[in-house]
Amino acid sequence: MERFVVWSTDHRAPEPADVDRALVRSWVSEATRSGLAPATIRRRLSVLRRYFAWAVTVGILDSEPSLGVPTPRGARRLPRIVRPIELDQLLEPRTGRPPLWEARDLAIVELLYGSGLRVAELCDARVVDVDLASERIDVTGKGGKSRRLPLTAPAVERIASWLAARTDALRESPWLFVNHRGGCLGPRDVRRVLTTRLDSPIHPHLLRHTFATHLLDGGADLRVVQELLGHADVATTQVYTHVSAQRLRSVFESTHPRA
C-alpha cells in the first residue's frame, strides 16, 4: 500500500479522491512492464482493493477506483508427469511386502496410469463396476457423470490377481480397493501407497497427467483423450498438448545431431 501511495503521489494523485480507474490501470501496467511477478501484482492489487472498499464504506470515497481493473495472469504451469524411472519403480513388484497388499497396490498403479482415473473415481469404484472379460471399468466422475473406460491388459491381470487374493472377509466388501478392515480407500491412502513405492512423495494425479500425455505422444486424438479423462471442456484437455510438445522438443534437442 505504501508503494502505491508513493507512486500515486509522484503521478499527481496524493489523495485517495485523486485516484481514478485509469491511474490504477497505469500502475498495474507499469508494474507489469517492470518485470514484477504477476502473483506479486495480484497480491498488491488485492490490498489496494481492500483499502478502497473500506474507504467507500466509511465515506472517504464515493466509488472504488480499482473496480474493473483486470488482474494480470501468470504463466500457466504445465502439469508434471511421472518420469520413466519413477514409472518403472511404481510398476515393479516389490519383495518383502505381504502378497495380498502388494497385489492391491500394483492393481492401483496400473489402473491409475492405464486408464487415467481421478483418485476419487478409483476410491469410489466397486467390484461390480469392473468387467475383466470385456476389459472395461465404469466410473463416476465430477458432477455425477458416468463413463466407461477401457482397461489395459496389465491392469486386467493385476486387478484379477488382487480380487483372487482377497480373503473371505475382504470379499464381503463392495469396494474394489479396500484397507485392512475392508473399508474403501481414501485419497490419502492411495497417495501413501504410491509414495511408499518411490523415494520421493508423489500425487496420484501425476499418473493421470502421464496417462494423457503418453496418449498424445502416441498420436491419440485430443477429443478421444478428453472423453477418456471425463473433461467437460476440451480446453481443459488442451494443456496436455503443450506438455506433449514440450516433451517432443526435449527429445528432438537431445537426439538430433543438428538440433
- Tens-place pLDDT, residues 11-47: 888 888 889 989 999 998 888 888 888 888 888 889 8
Which residue has cell 504445465?
A: 78
The answer to whether 50 and 33 are in contact (CB under 8 A) is no
Active site residues: 118, 142, 205, 208, 231, 240
Give the predicted TM-score (pTM) of the model: 0.71
d(CA 72, CA 44): 11
Domain 84-253 CATH (choose: 3.40.50.1970, 3.40.50.720, 1.10.443.10, 3.40.630.30): 1.10.443.10
Model pLDDT for residues 120-151, shown as the tens digit of each residue: 999 999 999 999 999 999 999 988 999 999 99
3-class state of residue 79 by DSSP: coil
Q: In b/e form, how buried is each residue of 1-31, taking b as 16+ CB within 10 angstroms? A: eeebeeebeeeebeeeeebeeebbeebbeeb
140's enclosing H/E stretch is: strand 136-140
* Percent of the chain at pLDDT exceeding 90: 56
Question: Domain spans of the chain?
Answer: 2-57, 84-253
The answer to whether 123 and 184 are in contact (CB under 8 A) is yes
The residue with greater pLDDT, 7 or 98, is 98
Question: Among the residues of the chain, which ranges form H helices?
Answer: 2-10, 21-33, 38-57, 84-91, 99-115, 119-124, 153-165, 168-171, 187-195, 205-217, 222-229, 234-237, 239-255
Considering Cα of 70, then 72, then 78, then 79, what sign does the dihedral take? negative
* Percent of the chain at pLDDT exceeding 70: 97
Q: What are the cell numbers at 53?
A: 472498499
Residue 184, beta-bridge partner list = 178
